Each structure stands twice: as structure tokens, then as C-alpha cells.
Amino acid sequence: MRSFLPVTFENDYSRCYQCKRRSPLYYWENRRLRRLCGSCSVAKAKSRSSQEGPIRLRLDPIAEVEKEAKRQGLVVDKPPPQARAQGQPASLKKWLLLEGRRCQVSLTVRHEGRGYAGYFYVRLYRPSSVWPDYIVYCVKNRSPGTPRFYVVPRNRVRKHTWMRESYMRQRYGDDKGWALLRRPIRRKIGRPFEDLPPEIVAAWKMAERHGLRVTLIPGKHASRGFLRRRLHIANCRCQVFKASRLTRKPATPKSMVIGLHAPKKKWGQFVIYVAWPLGRKGKPVFFILPAEKAPKKDTTATLGARSWIACYRKAWHLFQMTSR
């Protein structure tokens, strides 16, 4: 089965390769980009459908969600003008008010797990805006037909991830998902952000144990939480990296060798490498290097006492000397 995927580009009108008229629509045909106007595309789709079956056009998730919500008996409205100040222009097209609840429509896909025949997973995207309370995932099917919908509360999606389709159907699929929008509002739905990396959390806690003040750096957008590799320790800019071991086998010499990533940007005053023990059972080892002593390119180092990086092991006193 061949498919036509129309894509519209703003202020870009090219001539149709069939009738030579100007057309803003682009269609893929046989893995080649063809420009077709509306009338020619419909005529070509009808001719192909009579030969090879129906042609699948690009799915409009907003229209599909509005159609299904009205079929479920829900009131569908557009977001108020005040919502424009809480999101980007691209995200405003995905927002809807269903029964007075703030919802964002997200088009997603389902895939079969590698090595697990018969187990399907659904891709979940975390919204980048703080406005929606619920996320309506529209899962497009490989075969023509009505897509499947999942209504998930905002506080259940902390990051971009995959989830088992059987679990999604049991909790948020069919009538159970739409029933969440009919429940009375008891409390405000939280806005959880993606969890911080364990290296940042470990460096944060260890610095506070040494009496140093730690401040996280917020992202450019308020909904994106904090930066994942940067923080302030004792008013000093620090970059945190994970020093992974070359092997996880404890009996081999390579288990004592760690890989050090060089900072791509000269932003921090210190570079902190966190080396986790084998199996992550125990306390990590910290190496605090001044920015001028950090490696200029990716390299390796050993955890022995004679290594060049051994003098920077647990060197938290460098922050106290800098603060003076």
C-alpha cells in the first residue's frame, strides 16, 4: 500500500507537476517528492484506491479528538485568550477545553518491543508547557480506521518515555480515560518535571554535607525544570559528568579504569566527575577538577593512588579556598 502525506509550508507555493497550477501542498509518491494541487491529488488518490485499496492521508489529531469527545458527550471549546501567555504559538494549536478541563492533544505511535513478540508499547511525550492538566494521546493505526485515544493526567507523565499498551488500555483507554474528564475537580493537578540525573543529586547531597551551598540553575523555559549538567556550588559554576567504567566485571583490570568526558563549552569554574561503584551498591567517588585542569578531549584514567586524577579525589576544600 502506498501513502500520500500532505505537508503544508507557509508562503511556499510551487506549481503542480501535473496541471502546472500553483499549489501549497506537497505529496510523497514512491519515495519521491511530488507537488500536487488539491484536485490532482484527489483524482490520483481515487485512481490508486481503485487499484491498490484506500490511500491513507495524514491524520489530523485535533479533529479526531474533537469528533470522539463529542461522541462521548463532552463539551468541546477552544482555550481562552489568556492561555496565549503560557505557551508557544505552536502549542496553542494542540490545546482544547474538554468539559472545562485543560487538555493537550499529542499524536503518538505504537511499536512492538524488540525481542518481545506480541508486546506493544506506546510513546508518551511530556508537554513543555504548564497550561494543560490532561494529555490526550492519539495513537494512529497502521491500517485505516479510527485511532485509539488515551487520556492521561499531567502528573503521570514525568518525561518522554514508553509504556506498555496493555497497561494504557487498562488505566486510560476506551471509556476509562474519558471518564477522568467527568470527575469533579478536588485538587489541582501537579506539574512534575523530569527527574534530575543521579550524578547531579549525588553531588548536591555530598556538597551540602561539606557545608557548601548548592543552587540549581533553572532552564530557559519555566516548564523544563533545571539544567541537567550544571549547578552552583558555593557561588561557583560547576559542570557535573558521569565517569563510567570501561567494564562492569569486578575481576578484570579494566573495571578500575573510568572514562572522562571533556566539557564542550568553557562555562564552569569546576568540573565534577562522579564514578559509581560496581552495581551501584555503595557511595560514589567524586573528582573535583578546576576548569583549567580538566581534560581537553575525552580520555581515561585509573582509580589507583598513582593516577594523575587521584589528587583531585574528594577535593571539596577547593570550593572553600575559592570562596575566600
Q: Is residue 115 included in any domain, yes or no?
A: yes
Query: Quick one: DSSP state of residue 205?
Result: H
Where do we find the cell 489530523? Answer: 60
What is the percent of the chain where pLDDT is above 70? 68
Looking at residue 198, its pLDDT comes to: 86
Dist CA 305 CA 311 (whole Å): 8
Looking at residue 244, its pLDDT comes to: 86
Tell me: the pLDDT tens digits for 36-78? Answer: 666 676 666 555 544 444 444 466 888 889 989 998 889 898 8
Dist CA 258 CA 280 (whole Å): 14
Q: Buried b / exposed e across 6-24, counting CB within 10 Å, b at 16+?
A: eeeeeeeeeebebeeeebb
Looking at residue 41, its pLDDT comes to: 62
In the predicted model, is pLDDT for residue 89 greater than 60? Answer: no
Q: Do 291 and 229 sit in the same domain of this protein?
A: yes
CATH number assigned to the domain comprising residue 125: 3.40.1350
> Residue 169: in which H helix or E strand, if any?
helix 165-172
3-state secondary structure of 185: coil
Looking at residue 245, its pLDDT comes to: 83
In the predicted model, is pLDDT for residue 238 greater than 90? Answer: yes
Q: Is residue 270 included in any domain, yes or no?
A: yes
- Can you give the length of the chain in residues? 324
- Count of the separate structural domains present in the chain: 3
- Tell which wins on pLDDT, 39 or 147: 147
Tell me: the pLDDT tens digits for 247-261? Answer: 767 767 767 888 999
> What are residue 28's DSSP bridge partners?
33
Model pTM score? 0.51
3-state secondary structure of 214: strand
Q: Which three cell numbers, joined as nine digits, stand for 217?
A: 540553575
Mean pLDDT within 235-249: 86
Domain of residue 39, residue span: 7-52
Q: Is residue 187 included in any domain, yes or no?
A: no
Q: Do 208 and 319 sit in the same domain of this protein?
A: yes
Q: Is residue 193 included in any domain, yes or no?
A: no
Q: For residue 7, what pLDDT band results from cuts at 50, 70 and 90? A: very low
Looking at residue 142, its pLDDT comes to: 54
Looking at residue 233, its pLDDT comes to: 92
Q: Which three cell numbers, joined as nine digits, stand for 272?
A: 565534577
Listed ranges 116-120, 197-201, 249-253; the one with the highest mean pLDDT: 197-201
